[in-house]
Amino acid sequence: MIVRSKAPLRISFCGGGTDVPPYVEERGGVVLSATIDKYAYSSLRLRDDKSITVRSLDYDIVAKYNVEDELEYDGELDLVKAVLKNMCNGNEQGLDFFIHSDAPPGSGLGSSSTVVVALIGLLKHWQRLPLTNYEMAELAYHIERIDLAIEGGMQDQYAAVFGGFNFIEFGPAAVIVNPLRIDTEIINELQYNLLLCYTGRTRLSANIITTQVDNYVRKEAEVLSAMDEMKRITVEMKNALLQGRLNDFGCLLHEAWNNKKKMAKQITTSNIDLLYEAARENGALGGKILGAGGGGYLMLYCQFDKKHLIAEALEKLGGQVVEFTFDYHGLQTWEVK
């Protein structure tokens, strides 16, 4: 028997950074995001012995363990090891794993968290575990942020599990995922006007987030003001989206990007600034770098008659325009007999 899973990557429209402790515990955070048709995949095949083999296409690694091994975190496939420690403790069944993602690590689409979600879904399906969506997202967060102490927020895990358009509220006691019921015409128009551009460079998000957290802990006035403003803008963007005021949505993206850049100096680079200014000069109403910043994917809201001009300008500067559609299903698992 083979079990497979896929979990969607996400684009975060606004609020990223307010989901990172200690801000989220002291002031509460909100994020507006949607999942897209780029995925993290995992497969599991049962073996006749007690070996565990993990093949990672993204890192070009094949690792072999034994079910009785004490898995050590040493920088090689630690995310996989942490999932196995949490979900296969005491397991004596040999297993083959195969994992890969449609986007490289450090792309800003939440790929690392989405891989963890895909693996949790895979093992939940195989072991018939009665885990809810909230429990799977919380487990994914715990594995990354607590067990492995990787700096980051909470939004990626919930987006990958639930899928679709969500307004997510983060508080000290609970996370609440509010699925948004948006008219199909609005979603079609939003997708028609959005442009996704790969900057050609990835980054290590944890370093940027560490700087952001340090700035917040020091209570730097500009950072506090920017993060509080991001929350306000996130609510306004959610309302604009639900009401179909997409030009307002695009302009709010620009306002949010100007605030996000104040949270840590590494969020933008000269290359990102060059691409963003070229997009604005050619008619983009707004946009932002996805994820923590520093590289990865640039998302832009364009008026329909300017989108082709913006794409052309970005590609002249080395950007790579990527086609996408929205995903509404979230984490999915299935069996191959």
155-162 helix and 111-127 helix, angle to the nearest 10 degrees: 50
Pairwise CA distance, residues 268 & 182, whole Å? 31
AA letter at 287: G
Contact 87, 99 (CB under 8 A): no
Contact 138, 96 (CB under 8 A): no
AA letter at 9: L
Closest by Cα among 209, 205, 194 to 302 = 194
Pairwise CA distance, residues 288 & 293, whole Å? 9
Number of H helices, E strands in the chain: 11, 13
The backbone region for 186, taken as left when phi is positive above 0, alpha when psi lies in -120 to 50, beta otherwise, is alpha
Burial of 111 (0-12, 13-18, 19+ CB in 10 A): buried
Pairwise CA distance, residues 112 & 101, whole Å? 9
Angle formed at CA 260 by CA 256 and CA 262, multiple of 5 degrees: 130
Contact 153, 19 (CB under 8 A): yes
Residues 6+ apart with CB under 8 A from 201: 269, 271, 295, 296
Contact 214, 262 (CB under 8 A): no
The verdict on whether 156 is a catalytic residue reads: yes
Catalytic residue (choose from 37, 156, 183, 248): 156
Pairwise CA distance, residues 329 & 189, whole Å? 20
Catalytic residues: 156
